[in-house]
Amino acid sequence: MRDLAELTGLIYDAALDFALWPRVLEEVADAVGAGPAALLSQNQITMRGQGLTTRLDPRALGEFYGYYARRNPLTRGNDLRTIRAMPRLKTLTDRDVVDKRELMASEYYNSFMKPNGMHSALMIGLALHGESASTVNVMRSAAAGDFDDDEVRIGETLQPHLTRALKLAMRLGEAGQTGEALAEFLDRSAHGVFLIADSGRVCHANSAAEAMLRKRDGVSVANEELAGATPDATRKLRALIAAAVSPSRSGGSLSLPRAPGRHPLSAVIAPVNREHATLFNLGPAAIVCVSDPEAGHAPPERRLRDLFGLTRTEAAVALELLAGHDPRAIAGRMDTSYNTVRVHLARILAKTRTNRQTELVRLMMRVVGIGG
């Protein structure tokens, strides 16, 4: 563990580099002898939220906001008006909020905390944004015991630095408007497009995807994860998503059965790059593009643009490559220079997360074959 002065420096570095926040969480946890840690932003009325975690099963965050947040005795007494009246949020342990025996008797403790190695909590309040409160929560196992006064004081020492760094990071994120720009881009697609986080949670659905979900005919969301109409379809879909978010960064395609007499939906699952990063979401890990063959087909060029964010020219180069033309032939066919085509190809490879032209062609064959 580094000393608190070095940790404070890391905290302020994270204000400018979102990718450092998991490391900040680990070192804050180390400073107070804790294990799992989370940076959470939670609406105090709906109890919905988002966050970053470390030393915790990636599925735990989805389980928490999918079910347990509303059953958490540690937030049962939260009142938005009281929180807004505070000069600053507090640093508390679970014992400051609820009797330990009551906590240990709760469903939240026995079904969520205990299976995830949590027994005691230290909660460092940071800021209130509208109806959402942001906190850093660090947890200990039963074997490690409760947090003592010295460790609470460490949390209080770090609190103002964490608060300032969080506010700066959120302002920088808002200034970039990355999430809004991505959502606007996706909503132009006629296909149903879902962005998937590392945990498998659906973190965004465009307008076409939401319309599909409302119909509940072939695709749905269960426990914040995509599901098919049958257990087998759900298993296959989630297996491809897991492959896309794994270190192998693969993916694939499949048909999703619908009601009798209707053509199945066609889904393509692929990894995406991390250029669309925000503080609480370090970028979507995968994209699922669902096409309804009964709704008509978009041209191949549009499919590539929708799925990977290619420009018109980049999509045209990609399709020329798919047709079997090499870069020099493509330059001649498009009346441009060989070096310009190479630049376009480099951008296409980066956007599609592929390393070689052969790998890119295989990916495009799946994408262009949507609905076919």
pLDDT at 105 over 50: yes
Q: What is the pLDDT of residues 270-279, one digit of tens each?
A: 776 555 455 6
Residue percentage of the chain with pLDDT more than 70: 85
Q: What is the pLDDT of residue 183?
A: 54
Q: What is the pLDDT of residue 370?
A: 39
CA dihedral 25, 26, 27, 31 (to 10 degrees): 100
The 3-state DSSP class for residue 143 equals: coil
294 vs 51 pLDDT, higher one: 51
pLDDT at 283 over 80: no
Q: What is the pLDDT of residue 280?
A: 62
Alpha-helical segments (H) within the chain: 4-16, 21-31, 59-66, 80-85, 94-97, 100-105, 107-108, 149-176, 178-186, 207-215, 231-245, 300-308, 312-322, 327-333, 338-352, 357-368
Q: Is there a contact between 178 and 277 (Cβ–Cβ < 8 Å)?
A: yes
Q: What is the pLDDT of residue 16?
A: 67
Residue percentage of the chain with pLDDT more than 90: 36
Q: Is there a contact between 52 and 166 (Cβ–Cβ < 8 Å)?
A: no
What Å distances lie between residue 318 and 121, 267, 348, CA to CA? Answer: 52, 21, 7
Spatial separation of the C-alpha atoms in residues 273 and 285, rounded to whole Å: 7
Spatial separation of the C-alpha atoms in residues 356 and 118, rounded to whole Å: 45
Spatial separation of the C-alpha atoms in residues 322 and 280, rounded to whole Å: 37
Spatial separation of the C-alpha atoms in residues 253 and 71, rounded to whole Å: 38
pLDDT at 249 over 90: no
Task: Find the largest Cα–Cα distance for the chain.
Answer: 76
Q: What is the pLDDT of residues 13-42, one digit of tens each?
A: 787 677 789 999 999 999 999 999 999 998
Q: What is the pLDDT of residue 189?
A: 64
Q: Is there a contact between 92 and 126 (Cβ–Cβ < 8 Å)?
A: no
Q: Is there a contact between 89 and 133 (Cβ–Cβ < 8 Å)?
A: yes
* Contacts (Cβ under 8 Å, ≥6 apart) of 190: 208, 295, 298, 302, 306
- Residue 139 phi/psi, 5° resolution? -130, 150
Nearest to 49 by CA among 143, 132, 107: 132
Q: Which two tokens stand for residue 96?
A: 């400051």
Spatial separation of the C-alpha atoms in residues 352 and 220, rounded to whole Å: 26
Q: What is the pLDDT of residue 5?
A: 83
Nearest to 208 by CA among 184, 188, 228: 188
User: With bands split at pLDDT 50, 70 and 90, how would you rate the model's confidence at 252?
Assistant: confident
Q: Which two tokens stand for residue 231?
A: 């257990």
pLDDT at 149 over 90: yes
Provide the angle, in degrees to the nearest 10, between the axes of the packed helices 178-186 and 149-176: 50
Q: What is the pLDDT of residue 155?
A: 96
In this structure, what DSSP letter does residue 18 have?
A: G
In this structure, of 185-189, 205-209, 267-271, the range with the lowest mean pLDDT score is 185-189
Q: What is the pLDDT of residues 303-312, one digit of tens each?
A: 777 777 888 8
End-to-end distance of the chain based on CA atoms, in angstroms?
56
The 3-state DSSP class for residue 353 equals: coil
Q: Select, from the ranges 4-18, 125-139, 259-273, the one with the highest average predicted confidence (pLDDT).
A: 125-139
Mean pLDDT, rounded, of the chain: 83
Q: Which two tokens stand for residue 46?
A: 């709906």
Q: What is the pLDDT of residue 146?
A: 95
**Residues shown for the chain:** 372
Q: Which two tokens stand for residue 364?
A: 């495009």
Q: What is the pLDDT of residue 122?
A: 97
Spatial separation of the C-alpha atoms in residues 52 and 123, rounded to whole Å: 15
In this structure, of 97-111, 156-170, 174-188, 198-212, the range with the lowest mean pLDDT score is 174-188
Spatial separation of the C-alpha atoms in residues 34 and 125, rounded to whole Å: 17
pLDDT at 50 over 90: no
288 vs 172 pLDDT, higher one: 288
Handedness of CA 227, 229, 235, 241 (dihedral sign): negative
